[in-house]
Amino acid sequence: MRMMLISAATMLALAACSPPAETPAPTPEPAAPVVAPPTNAEEATAQDTCGASGYAAMVGTQIAAATFPEGVRTIAPDSVVTQDFRADRLNVLVDASGVITGFQCY
Protein backbone atom coordinates (compact mmCIF):
# COMPACT_ATOMS: atom_id res chain seq x y z
CA MET A 1 0.00 0.00 0.00
CA ARG A 2 2.80 2.36 0.88
CA MET A 3 4.43 1.65 -2.45
CA MET A 4 1.22 2.55 -4.26
CA LEU A 5 0.97 5.83 -2.37
CA ILE A 6 4.57 6.71 -3.23
CA SER A 7 3.96 5.81 -6.90
CA ALA A 8 0.78 7.87 -7.00
CA ALA A 9 2.49 10.83 -5.34
CA THR A 10 5.40 10.60 -7.77
CA MET A 11 3.05 10.54 -10.75
CA LEU A 12 1.14 13.53 -9.44
CA ALA A 13 4.36 15.45 -8.90
CA LEU A 14 5.57 14.63 -12.40
CA ALA A 15 2.22 15.57 -13.93
CA ALA A 16 2.30 18.92 -12.15
CA CYS A 17 5.74 19.63 -13.59
CA SER A 18 4.88 18.83 -17.19
CA PRO A 19 4.28 21.78 -19.51
CA PRO A 20 0.66 22.64 -20.25
CA ALA A 21 -0.83 21.44 -23.48
CA GLU A 22 -0.21 24.00 -26.22
CA THR A 23 -3.20 25.84 -27.54
CA PRO A 24 -3.00 26.77 -31.20
CA ALA A 25 -2.32 30.42 -31.93
CA PRO A 26 -5.37 32.28 -33.22
CA THR A 27 -5.47 32.67 -36.97
CA PRO A 28 -4.99 36.34 -37.81
CA GLU A 29 -7.74 37.92 -39.86
CA PRO A 30 -6.66 39.25 -43.24
CA ALA A 31 -5.89 42.94 -43.15
CA ALA A 32 -8.01 45.30 -45.17
CA PRO A 33 -6.18 46.69 -48.18
CA VAL A 34 -4.54 49.99 -47.44
CA VAL A 35 -5.73 52.78 -49.71
CA ALA A 36 -3.44 55.76 -49.93
CA PRO A 37 -5.16 59.04 -49.17
CA PRO A 38 -5.90 61.09 -52.29
CA THR A 39 -3.48 63.84 -53.27
CA ASN A 40 -5.46 65.49 -56.06
CA ALA A 41 -8.99 66.04 -57.33
CA GLU A 42 -8.94 63.06 -59.70
CA GLU A 43 -7.94 60.62 -56.95
CA ALA A 44 -10.39 62.13 -54.44
CA THR A 45 -13.26 61.96 -56.92
CA ALA A 46 -12.35 58.37 -57.88
CA GLN A 47 -12.35 57.39 -54.19
CA ASP A 48 -15.58 59.41 -53.66
CA THR A 49 -14.16 61.02 -50.53
CA CYS A 50 -16.83 63.76 -50.56
CA GLY A 51 -19.88 61.64 -51.40
CA ALA A 52 -20.22 62.97 -54.95
CA SER A 53 -21.70 59.71 -56.23
CA GLY A 54 -24.79 60.31 -54.10
CA TYR A 55 -25.63 63.36 -56.20
CA ALA A 56 -25.04 61.84 -59.67
CA ALA A 57 -28.78 61.77 -60.46
CA MET A 58 -28.83 65.59 -60.31
CA VAL A 59 -26.61 66.00 -63.38
CA GLY A 60 -28.66 67.84 -66.01
CA THR A 61 -30.86 69.73 -63.55
CA GLN A 62 -30.81 73.46 -62.84
CA ILE A 63 -28.64 74.52 -59.91
CA ALA A 64 -31.44 76.86 -58.79
CA ALA A 65 -33.69 73.86 -58.12
CA ALA A 66 -31.07 71.99 -56.09
CA THR A 67 -30.22 72.16 -52.41
CA PHE A 68 -26.92 71.06 -50.94
CA PRO A 69 -25.46 70.93 -47.46
CA GLU A 70 -23.40 73.81 -46.13
CA GLY A 71 -19.83 73.91 -47.40
CA VAL A 72 -20.58 72.69 -50.93
CA ARG A 73 -19.03 74.87 -53.64
CA THR A 74 -20.78 75.70 -56.89
CA ILE A 75 -18.29 76.28 -59.69
CA ALA A 76 -19.50 77.94 -62.87
CA PRO A 77 -17.39 78.78 -65.91
CA ASP A 78 -14.95 81.59 -65.14
CA SER A 79 -15.51 81.18 -61.38
CA VAL A 80 -12.64 82.08 -59.13
CA VAL A 81 -12.03 79.36 -56.53
CA THR A 82 -9.30 78.77 -53.99
CA GLN A 83 -6.64 76.23 -54.92
CA ASP A 84 -6.50 74.54 -51.51
CA PHE A 85 -7.11 70.80 -51.71
CA ARG A 86 -9.71 69.27 -49.42
CA ALA A 87 -10.63 65.71 -50.37
CA ASP A 88 -13.87 65.91 -48.38
CA ARG A 89 -15.23 69.04 -50.12
CA LEU A 90 -17.99 68.54 -52.70
CA ASN A 91 -17.81 70.80 -55.76
CA VAL A 92 -20.84 71.17 -58.02
CA LEU A 93 -19.86 71.99 -61.60
CA VAL A 94 -22.38 73.98 -63.63
CA ASP A 95 -22.39 75.33 -67.17
CA ALA A 96 -23.04 78.93 -68.22
CA SER A 97 -26.82 78.40 -68.13
CA GLY A 98 -26.77 76.99 -64.57
CA VAL A 99 -27.21 73.33 -65.48
CA ILE A 100 -25.33 70.88 -63.26
CA THR A 101 -22.70 69.11 -65.36
CA GLY A 102 -20.91 67.08 -62.69
CA PHE A 103 -19.51 66.72 -59.20
CA GLN A 104 -15.92 66.51 -57.99
CA CYS A 105 -14.10 66.17 -54.69
CA TYR A 106 -11.36 68.76 -53.95
CB 85 within 8 A of CB 41: yes
Report which of 55, 49, 58 is spatially closest to residue 85, judged by C-alpha positions: 49
Q: What is the residue extent of each domain of the chain?
A: 38-106
3 state DSSP class of 87: coil
76: Cβ contacts below 8 Å, ≥ 6 apart: 94, 95, 96, 98
List the chain pLDDT tens, one digit each, 106 residues: 555 545 555 555 555 555 666 777 777 777 777 889 999 999 999 999 999 999 999 999 999 999 999 999 999 999 999 999 999 999 999 999 999 999 999 9
The pLDDT, as a whole number, for residue 16 is 58
The pLDDT, as a whole number, for residue 59 is 98
The pLDDT, as a whole number, for residue 20 is 62
The pLDDT, as a whole number, for residue 88 is 97
CA distance 73 to 93: 9
CATH fold label, 38-106: Trypsin Inhibitor V; Chain A (3.30.10)
